[in-house]
Chain A
Amino acid sequence: MGCGRVGAQLAGMLSREGHDVTVMDVDQSAFRRLAPDFRGRELLGNGIDQDHLRMAGIEEADAFVAVTQGDNRNVMAAQIAKHIFKVARVVCRIYDPKREELYHTLGLETISPTILGAQALKEALERVEV
Chain B
Amino acid sequence: MYIIVIGGGKVGYYLTKELVEAGHEVLVMEKTNSKVEAINEELGEVAMQGDGCEVAVMEQAGVGRADMVIAVTGDDEDNLVTCQVAKLRFNVPRTIARINNPKNEAIFKALGIDATVSSTTAILAHIEEELPTHPLIHLLTLRGGGLELVEMKIPQNASVVGKKLKEVLLPQESLVCFVYDAEGIPRLPNPETVLHAGDEVVAVTRQEYEPALRTALSA
Contact = CB atoms under 8 A, between A and B. Distances in A.
A93 B54 CA distance: 15
Interface residues of A, number: 19
Interface in B63-81: 75-78, 80-81
22 contacts: A48-B76, A48-B104, A49-B101, A49-B103, A50-B103, A51-B103, A70-B77, A72-B80, A75-B80, A76-B77, A79-B107, A83-B110, A83-B111, A96-B54, A98-B54, A98-B55, A99-B53, A99-B81, A99-B85, A102-B55, A102-B85, A106-B88
Contacts of A102: 55, 84-85, 88-89
A73 B78 CA distance: 8
Contacts, number: 52
Contacts of B110: 83-84
B175 to A, nearest CB: 29
Nearest to A96: B54
Contacts of A50: 103, 107
B60 to A, nearest CB: 12
User: Top 6 nearest A-B pairs by Cβ distance?
Assistant: A98-B55, A72-B77, A76-B77, A72-B81, A73-B77, A72-B78
Contacts of A106: 88
Contact of A76 (B76, B89, B103, B106): B76
Contacts of A79: 107, 111
B56 interface: yes
B107 A96 contact: no
A17 to B, nearest CB: 30
A76 B80 contact: yes
A76 B104 CA distance: 10
Interface in A67-100: 70-73, 75-76, 79-80, 83-84, 96, 98-99
A98 B77 contact: no
Contacts of B56: 98
Contacts of A71: 53, 81
Given A84-B110, A98-B56, A102-B55, A48 B77 contact: yes
